[in-house]
Amino acid sequence: MRRSLTYSALWVVAAGLATTAAWQGVGLVTHQVTDDRPDTLAAADVQAKLDLAAPDEPVATTTVPLGDPTTAPTSASTTAPEAAGETRTYTSEGGSATLRFTPAGAEVVLSKPNAGFDVDTEPEHGNGVRVEFENESHRSRIEGWWDGGPQERVREQPR
């Protein structure tokens, strides 16, 4: 009987140590993934950053209007790349996002959710980004990456 209690006590201690180690690992990864999110920039800040990035080079800007929000995945396109890169602004039901495309990849310059929507920005495709605007009834997803030129995908999904 005493041996059973000893084994049970050792098992409880080992399980507690394993659980503690697992939670520490999860906490470490969560801290690394979620704590370093960039702040949302105002339009003036975006322009200032663009001016600093390439003060003597022209920057091509394209605004991509979205079609009917009840449709399935909407666009995937390729345009001729510019040496300095390209900046594009996307407007969706959930908000607007400005992406900067260069041969090194894509980055979010600005993401602004509409009222009632939350925004989530994540790296994707190795050298790309994903901006997702979401509320209880709708999700707008904007993805951009560089593959021989700017690549994009915009989806509107009712829930």
Residue 21, SS3? helix
Instruction: State the Cα–Cα distance between residues 145 and 106, nearest whole angstrom.
Output: 5
- Return the higher-pLDDT residue of 3 and 41: 3
Q: For residue 75, which of 6, 4, 159, 144 has the smallest C-alpha distance?
A: 144
Q: For residue range 17-27, what is the model confidence (pLDDT) as tens digits?
A: 888 777 787 77
Where b means 16+ CB within 10 Å and e means fewer, 55-87 reads eeeeeeeeeeebeeeeeeebeeeeeebeeebbb
Look up the pTM and report it.
0.51
Residues in the chain, how many?
A: 159
Pick the residue with more confidence: 50 or 147?
147
**Contact residues for 154 (Cβ-Cβ < 8 A; gap 6+):** 64, 66, 73, 74, 75, 90, 92, 140, 141, 142, 143
68-84 pLDDT, tens digit per residue, is: 444 444 444 444 444 57
Q: To the nearest whole number, what is the mean pLDDT of the chain? A: 78
Higher-confidence residue of 16 and 123: namely 123
- pLDDT, tens only, 101-127: 999 999 999 999 999 999 999 998 688
